[in-house]
Chains A and B, each alone.
Chain A
Amino acid sequence: MKTILLVEDDIFIRESLAELLKMENYRVVVAPDGEKAKRLLLQGFIPDLIVLDLLMPVMSGEQFLQDAEIQALLELIPVVVLTAGLISGLPKKIVRAIIAKPPNIQELLQTIKRLLND
């Protein structure tokens, strides 16, 4: 079973997307901001994919993607950015897909599936 790290500050989005991903037979670990997600990675938790919101408290998605301590790790894990904001200048090497909120659910799930099977 593949594991997805879902980093999202909005509790409603976090809970419902986690539930939906579980229905798709993924194991889901959640973090409410970039800082907590970073801590999980540094503790040795390596997910198969990260779904990342950008505008978050404490540590934003952009800051998370650029954090020096986890750069090497991030290069190994595909990241899907899920955001309601405008996007520019995200590191292409790490961010494999960008999906706008509110997402087309099928597109979101298919993108995740494709990246996990790559």
Chain B
Amino acid sequence: MLEPLVEAVVSALPNAVVIFSPQGNVLAYNSKALELFGFNSMQDKSVEDLAQTCTLENGSPIASSIFVSPQANEPRRFMIRSKKTGKWILVYASPVASDGAQQGKNKVGAITIYSEKTEIVKNLSKLSRELQQKTKYQVNIEKPLLEAIKLRDDFISMASHELKTPLTSMKLQAEIVKRKHNETQLTRDQLDKLFSTWEEQLERLNSLIDGMLDVSALSEGKIKTHPCKLDLGKAIKSQVGRFYTEQISFIKKKQVIGTWDPRRIDQIVSNLLTNAIKYGHKKPIEIILDQDGNSAVIEVTDHGEGIARENFEKIFKRFERVPSDISVGGIGLGLYIVKQIVETTGGSIAVKSKKGEGSTFTVRIPLSS
């Protein structure tokens, strides 16, 4: 037993303190220590008893020698956790040689001072969890973000290429006209041809810009529709007529009347036909109109390049164009626009295709949207 004065000092200390004898028995302790380790009393307890109620930081058991090791002449600091109270405890263990004993001869006791660090540990692990989550979030968001940026850049370069191409031919033609006009060499036929080329180029520019505006409206959910009663067969026939080609045959299996926005129907038909012509290798194209229950069904088939199965999903995405054997104009908006419009009517679009054999796009739209 220690002197009453020492005991009084120990119990007055603000930290939890336990003093062990060279044999490892508890000589003195204070109430703070009881509270930390969850004991009612430490009378007759040994360093073993204490060690058994705790684990090291990583959860592994504690060797009792850690508190009073004769090898540890230096004070040591380490973190333990009480199994009883769940508290995190920073230990400061200071070996004390007993009277007349030499250090290293197993005659060493210890004064151990403990302070609770549960709050700090909790905060630290909360921080680390948050950090982990943030890192995970960053990884999750980074990839699609980079992809979106790349897609945007590809789109800008594709769009500017597409816009500059008609500008180039118009500029060259303007130079030719200027020269010929100076020499008054232009015949009426030449002028007619020139003006119709310019009209065509301007139309090309205009539809590119329309496409871009549509996409921006679609992605912001601002697309406006003005539905009215419509004979779908007539609408398709007039679109087919706009292509001035014998390549397309229109097969109307049934007269289909419904309520749709005529402009949107035109867009669906014209975008599908434009693609069929682009990728159709100049072979015949069929557009078939039918009705299936309460839905109109429009089927556009070409017998050209076809689409590889792995690209089926990709072709409906914004700005996407899949690798092609032929270089065709366009900025990868057509099918995206079609899909968005079809979906706003509550309809669907599907593709069947085989590489090298052509593609069939099937649009189903409810008779009234």
**Residues of chain A having any CB pair with chain B under 8 Å:** 9-10, 12-13, 16-17, 19-20, 23, 33, 55-58, 60, 84-86, 100-103, 105
Contacts and interface: CB of A to CB of B under 8 A. Distances in A.
Given A16-B176, A23-B179, A85 B161 contact: yes
B164 interface: yes
Nearest to B197: A12
Residue from A17, A33, A101 whose CB has the most chain B CB atoms within 10 Å: A101
Interface string B267-295: 00000000000000000000000000000
Contacts of A101: 164-165, 167-168
B82 to A, nearest CB: 65
Contact of A10 (B160, B165, B171): B165
Give the 6 A-B residue pairs with the shortest CB-CB distance, closest first: A12-B169, A57-B327, A84-B164, A16-B172, A102-B168, A101-B168
B171 A105 contact: yes
22 contacts: A9-B327, A10-B168, A12-B169, A12-B173, A12-B197, A13-B168, A13-B172, A16-B172, A16-B173, A16-B176, A17-B172, A19-B176, A23-B179, A57-B328, A58-B325, A58-B326, A84-B165, A85-B161, A103-B168, A103-B171, A105-B172, A105-B175
Contacts of B11: none
Given A13-B172, A19-B176, A102 B327 contact: no
A94 B115 CA distance: 77
Contacts of B164: 84, 100-102
Nearest to B194: A16
Contacts of B197: 12
A16 B157 CA distance: 24
Contacts, number: 59
A101 B162 CA distance: 11
Nearest to A23: B179
A13 B165 contact: yes
Nearest to B160: A84
A45 to B, nearest CB: 23
A13 B170 CA distance: 8
A112 B327 CA distance: 27
A10 B328 CA distance: 10
A105 to B, nearest CB: 5
Contacts of B173: 12, 16
A85 B172 CA distance: 18
Interface string B160-196: 1100111111111101100100000000000000000
Contact of A57 (B160, B169, B176, B326): B326
Contacts of B325: 57-58
Interface of B: 157, 160-161, 164-173, 175-176, 179, 197, 201, 325-328
B310 to A, nearest CB: 22
A102 B179 contact: no
A10 B329 CA distance: 9
Contacts of B176: 16, 19-20, 23
Contacts of A17: 172
B168 A84 contact: yes
A47 to B, nearest CB: 20
A100 B167 CA distance: 12
B166 A55 contact: no
B148 to A, nearest CB: 19
A60 B323 CA distance: 13
Contacts of B169: 10, 12-13, 16
Contacts of B168: 10, 13, 84, 101-103
A58 B165 CA distance: 18
Given A10-B169, A12-B197, A17-B172, A84 B326 contact: no
Contacts of B327: 9, 33, 55-58, 60
Given A12-B169, A85-B157, 19 more contacts: A9-B327, A12-B197, A12-B201, A16-B169, A20-B172, A20-B175, A23-B176, A55-B327, A56-B327, A57-B325, A57-B327, A84-B161, A84-B164, A84-B165, A84-B168, A100-B164, A101-B164, A101-B165, A101-B167
A16 B169 CA distance: 7
Contacts of A12: 166, 169, 173, 197, 201
B172 A55 contact: no
A18 to B, nearest CB: 9
B326 A55 contact: no
A101 B169 CA distance: 9
Nearest to A54: B161
A57 B305 CA distance: 13
